[in-house]
Structure 1
């Protein structure tokens, strides 16, 4: 490897954020591998040169669907390893949130590989639900429905259930339960969807979407509302429909400690519901699995201080520990990690049209003397060590 290429790798930090998919070849061009540790590669400069010869200019969006497949496999391997290592008695499934990228090629590529592991879909709007119903999924996979649900949306969910899909309607406000119970009575002879509840946890996430969790979060049911849902389902003799507990504390969760706290709290709620003799068996831990965009491996909002394997280990271990303490069966863990699955597969290529020159003035060196006050010594240390990544600390 030449010095120029080594300098390029160091300057752009490709080895830190590339996840094994991106590299620089001997020509000094950026290349994309279809999977980790794969010798095959596509030269981005050659692709752009070919497009320009055909009269296609930049900006241009390039998609590499093989990277969606590679991420599905990486996620499945991580959780399979954790389940074996910790002797977890439940299973792991994923549902791809279609809002992350609704492109047909992306969703179908995900299902092509994900169906091998019974991975399913998550829809949060009527448009997404219509699309999901038209797609082929594994017979054991789930179609999880989140978001705002009017009566038409819920009717469509019942249609999906009666067509053979394993539909889960996640209740986020009490008014949704009225529509579900009314349609359940109306369609008593047909297959009914499962019901889930989104719990509002006290635990907060981290990063840019931190406010998605905590007691001030916009979405989810309080403990009192969860008990009300259970009471009304029991009165209607529909408690057998309640199968899932769901939570979501934000996207791009950068700090693994916050994730563990949320898992512990949610697993405790799940256990208490199960101890009420309710046939709940699915724990949907939501999305939030972060992508390390800048390669710093920190809790900075564009990074993550954990790997896919560390994430899987903490999820499996924490839930298992709580369920064992509460003496309840280990649930099937459902995950909605759309960003992790789709982020790497698309690249926007554009021309550099201008440069912004940043003028950095020389900072006069400061010498700290031994007799200086402690606060001055500490400020001097901060001045030397502060970076854009650690300034929050």
Structure 2
């Protein structure tokens, strides 16, 4: 569910609104393209997820910042009590900047630097998700030097197929993430001998946009087995981090993904009577349907066998269709009528790449230059992956709440873009 719907606009047409904000009027104010996020949708999705685990009051939900790191989005969730899952010092600084305490932050990622480790230790984070033996030794060195203790969970790779796109699968043996399941016990024993390390948790995250509960069931069974093995070996495992990955609906003609309540039922069955604190790292599930990308049609180019709708948003603004062959529903901002002609079209951007598209062979209401479109379900892995490719300005981001809106990340000027670089003295 999201809070984007058609209603009577200031122009008296049925206009797509973000909560109570007319997107035609917002486009006139902000310019296009721009991302727009709904506070009400973010809040609802977070509450639905946490509500599914209300029977376990010690659960810690760490929103995965990599999905959408906009400070307005983060503050909205922080105000609800969310923890944060970070994968860099920059993301950690964002979490701290919006008031999330260190004890509600988990640090993931395969390439943590010693500088990042030191900063995280000083921030007093809840735990590090350690992904390799060399990382473990580096963390021990940093913690010992600072006279601090790093709580860790090894991220265990169970070699489970998440049945999702190969570029967002993280739980197979060929993926770069985590340590092999069969090596986990020996690594925990090694961790117990190192100064500054407290091996007190277990972590697993098998992928993203998972729409079938079977991979979770298989992975959680292995995780439960591992906790028992570790406890029998004398390890005081006090938390289990189950990661994220729960999918969301991108299109209406496919089966709906499992509900958080279905997922919670599986978690409770799998974890059984384990006396552990549960951590989760949802990202897409909270932010995905809470955001859209609004773009304006520049030209419609009709060839004998093809129609191209050229818009002012491009792959540098939303790379998911090019990178993951991802589908995003596209709606006209001004609602079409039943009499509107439907045309099969490629929706493409101005970037000089054949792969610069937002949709291919898509049946859409006939569009004309100046029309606005909304690319739906763009709140996760959208703006965070935006770039200045072709020296295009970074796309701005807007957060709405009821009738109010705030440009939480303004569009930079060309002067801003150029001033970020320096010419060598010899030039």
Fold conserved between structures, TM > 0.5? yes
- Are 1:130 and 2:89 counterparts? no
The 3 A distance-change label for structure 1 pair 140 and 127 is closer
The 3 A distance-change label for structure 1 pair 47 and 132 is closer
CA distance in 1, matches of 2:46, 2:101: 15
2:179 aligns with 221
Note the 1:63-82 alignment, pairs <5 A. Answer: 63-80=37-54
8 Å CA contact 2:60–2:278 kept in 1: the answer is: yes
Query: CA shift at 1:238, angstroms?
Result: 6.0
- Are 1:102 and 2:61 counterparts? no
Query: CA shift at 1:205, angstroms?
Result: 0.3
The 3 A distance-change label for structure 1 pair 139 and 127 is closer
Unaligned runs of 5+ in 2: 301-306, 309-342, 346-427
- Are 1:307 and 2:259 counterparts? yes
Query: CA shift at 1:260, angstroms?
Result: 1.6
Query: CA shift at 1:358, angstroms?
Result: 4.4
1:91 aligns with 58
Which residue, out of 285, 295, 304, partners 1:350? 295
- RMSD, matched Cα: 2.6
Query: CA shift at 1:251, angstroms?
Result: 0.7
1:151 aligns with 114
CA distance in 2, matches of 1:135, 1:50: 26
- Are 1:271 and 2:228 counterparts? yes
Which residue, out of 21, 24, 31, partners 2:6? 24
Query: CA shift at 1:138, angstroms?
Result: 5.0
Query: CA shift at 1:23, angstroms?
Result: 3.6
- Are 1:49 and 2:7 counterparts? no
* Residues 125-134 or 271-280, more deviating: 125-134
8 Å CA contact 2:140–2:195 kept in 1: the answer is: no
The 3 A distance-change label for structure 1 pair 29 and 293 is same
1:234 aligns with 192
Query: CA shift at 1:290, angstroms?
Result: 0.8
Note the 1:283-362 alignment, pairs <5 A. Answer: 283-296=240-253, 298=255, 304-320=256-272, 324=273, 329-352=274-297, 353-354=299-300, 355=307, 357-358=343-344
- Are 1:178 and 2:156 counterparts? no
2:353 aligns with none
Query: CA shift at 1:237, angstroms?
Result: 6.5
Query: CA shift at 1:144, angstroms?
Result: 3.0
CA distance in 2, matches of 1:236, 1:175: 12
The 3 A distance-change label for structure 1 pair 150 and 50 is closer
Which residue, out of 2, 17, 35, partners 1:61? 35
8 Å CA contact 1:177–1:229 kept in 2: the answer is: no
* Structure with more strand by fraction: 2
The 3 A distance-change label for structure 1 pair 48 and 60 is farther
Query: CA shift at 1:98, angstroms?
Result: 1.5
8 Å CA contact 1:203–1:265 kept in 2: the answer is: no
CA distance in 2, matches of 1:130, 1:25: 39
CA deviations over 1:297-332 (Å, ceiling 9, x no partner): 52xxxxx43112111211222221xxx4xxxx3322
CA distance in 2, matches of 1:20, 1:178: 45
Query: CA shift at 1:66, angstroms?
Result: 2.7
- Are 1:280 and 2:237 counterparts? yes
Structure number with bigger Rg: 1
The 3 A distance-change label for structure 1 pair 108 and 180 is same
